[in-house]
Chain A
Amino acid sequence: MAEYAHDVLVSPEWVVDRFDEIQADDPALQLFEVSVDTDVYDDGHIPGAHSLDWNVELQDPETFDVLTREDFETLLGSYGVTSETTVVLYGDMMNWFAAYAFWLLKYYGHPDVRLVNGGRDYWTRQSFPLSTEQPPVTERKYEVTAVNDEIRVDREIVNDALDRDVSLVDVRSPEEYRGEVLAPPGWNEGVQRGGHIPGAINIPWSQAVAEDGRFKPPEELRHVYEPILDSETEIFVYCRIGERSALAWVVLHELLGQEDVRHYYGSWVEWGNTVGAPIERGRYATQKLETNSMQ
């Protein structure tokens, strides 16, 4: 079987083999749960894992942007992470928010970040051990040396790119892509206009993941992303609030080894609410049609 481009996925067995280091507050290895449903950590987590609250800790509530560099350094330092630490992440819902944390760490230049393949759901379904104990933590100093700007893209650049040959990938659900759903129920993320960025193709994020929650093997991933892999162009990924597209970024950049993949953090919440930003709607999800015709 072909390998993933970069060695960023670890198996549950890999984690089990390192339980001693993980639980000993070893600065070389730190484990974090980043779940969409932040309550589940208290019900039981991988022994030695700390919980990161995406809502409070991984975004700036004032600016609605990623954490500032200073806040990022403070956050990681408070959990005993240094720039030499291997940071291992996992979460619920197919690692959706864990992948966002992965991207954020890469954005701030952290060298060694891993994702537990399958995330929380696979771990619990396979009956790997859980703990309700809060692991000990020693505060350490964390320093960001370089911000990895080339993996992020802002609205102005996306707007300029509309005239260029750039592959835009919308990873939201087909009904959000087509503009049928404006305000997803239960999320405080309504937008004024439905649809998608002109020219974007719809490849829902969940297509990257197999039913057991683990990433699909490389050849299947290549098939899912086929419409954009053949061209040499840059790839921009976006979703609703810029978290699910981080998972697509991980797949394209880390697992498939695409070099020019950039994550549009502002995503649809920003674009759909921007006066004058062009939108397209109603077009059927191309990818879905293709998937169906294969069966």
Chain B
Amino acid sequence: MRIYRVSTLSHSRFPGYETVIMREFTFGIEYEANTDPVMDVFINHPEVLAHSLDGCVTEDHFWRVERITGPTAALNRIEELRFDDSICGESITETDCRATRHHDVLKRTNNERVLYTYLEGISGCESVHTLAGRYLPSGLIFETHRQEDRHDWRILMRSDEKVGMLYDSLGAALRSDLTFRMGHLRDAEGWQQDTLAAVSLPASQRAALHAALDAGYYETPRQIKLDDLADQLDMPRSTLSYRLRQAEAKLARGYIGESVDD
């Protein structure tokens, strides 16, 4: 059974080329505290966000580039954990992975860290990469997002013929303090649409932005005046105004790609 479809616009004039419609499988894994040292940093610092792009070389080799934003102390902690060979940070089963690990820091500022990771010869555990590499076709791409207790995965593949085996083996492999959350399986569409989600906002600014959006403050015309919103939130107008302006500035800079260092 071949599930992937060859596009009708296939490059028939170029023998050897085949256009496939990529499929995507998304899911989340939720971690309880004290079960994964890397995820613990995200749990302890809710403002830390990470986005990664990973690729499987083979079942037991993968690479990853992960961009993490947040307070310096949290970023330092993650960097320290990544460079500590006794910390796994990949396994979803009871035991840690054995592997040869290579790490480098591609970018280091107070609020942003970009880490390169390459693991080879993974054994003794299962990770999402090893299971996906076992059941899915070569050439996989992983986009992942971490925040608080949740690590979200989007796996892009040329064929989803054996994705059911990945799903069942993930469910069987997960250690008891990890919880699987199903996303979807469908044709892959879009790429890094949520770059702004990588912008790290302090919790107070995020809450202010949320409340403003919910109350229609960003509608045209505005559904609510700043004074009324401040009253609703029971905070001084100046505080609300300051938080919104700070958040807006960070989003603008994040969108344009400027460094968001304070």
**Which A residues lie at the B interface, using CB under 8 A?**
36-37, 93-94, 96, 125, 173-175, 180-181, 184-187, 204-206, 209, 211, 288, 291-292, 295
Interface residues of B in 169-219 (CB under 8 A from A): 169, 171-173, 176-177, 179-182, 184-185
Q: List the A residue with the shortest CB-CB distance to B123.
A: A125
- Whole-angstrom distance between the Cβ of B129 and the nearest chain A Cβ: 17
Determine how close the nearest CB of chain A comes to the CB of B76; give it in whole angstroms.
Answer: 29
Cα A94 to Cα B173 in complex, Å, equals 10
Across the interface, do B176 and A205 meet the contact criterion of CB distance under 8 Å?
no
**What are the residues of chain B within 8 A of A174 when measuring CB–CB?**
179-180
Asked if A37 meets B135 with Cβ closer than 8 Å, knowing A93-B168, A206-B173, the reply is: yes
Contact assessment for A206 and B185 in the assembled complex, using a CB-CB cutoff below 8 Å:
no
30 contacts between A and B (CB under 8 A): A36-B165, A37-B135, A37-B165, A93-B165, A93-B169, A93-B172, A94-B172, A125-B123, A174-B179, A175-B179, A175-B180, A175-B181, A175-B182, A180-B181, A184-B164, A184-B167, A184-B168, A185-B25, A185-B160, A185-B167, A186-B163, A186-B164, A205-B172, A206-B171, A211-B93, A211-B94, A288-B176, A292-B176, A295-B176, A295-B177
The reply to whether B180 and A185 contact each other, CB–CB distance below 8 Å, is no
Residue B222 CB within 8 A of the other chain: no
Asked, given contacts A173-B171, A186-B160, A186-B163, whether A292 binds B182 with beta carbons under 8 Å apart, the answer is no
Cα A76 to Cα B67 in complex, Å, equals 56
CB distance from A289 to the nearest CB of B (A): 10
CB-contact partner of B185 in A180, A185, A205, A288, under 8 A: A185
Instruction: Give the CA-CA distance A230 to B135 in the complex, in Å.
Output: 39
Q: How many A-B residue pairs have CB under 8 A?
A: 63
CA A94 to CA B25, docked complex, whole Å? 24
Does A206 lie within 8 Å of B176, measured CB to CB? Answer: no
Chain A residue at smallest Cβ distance from B164: A186
A37 CA to B160 CA, complexed, in Å: 13
- Most chain B Cβ neighbours within 10 Å, of A184, A204, A291: A184
Count of chain B residues with a beta carbon within 8 Å of a chain A beta carbon: 28
Does B228 interact with chain A (Cβ within 8 Å)? Answer: no
B residues engaging A (CB < 8 A)? 25, 32, 93-95, 123, 135, 160-169, 171-173, 176-177, 179-182, 184-185
A223 to chain B, nearest CB (A): 13
Interface centre among B93, B168, B172 (most CB of A within 10 A): B168
Q: Which of B95, B123, B164, B173 has the most CB of A within 10 A?
A: B164
Query: Roughly how many angstroms separate A60 CA and B165 CA in the complex, as a whole number?
Result: 21
Contact A186 B95 (CB under 8 A): no
Q: What residues on B are CB-neighbors of A204 within 8 Å?
A: 171-172
User: B184: which A residues are within 8 A, CB to CB?
Assistant: 185
A133: min CB distance to chain B, Å: 24
Question: Which residues on A sit within 8 Å (CB–CB) of B95?
Answer: 211
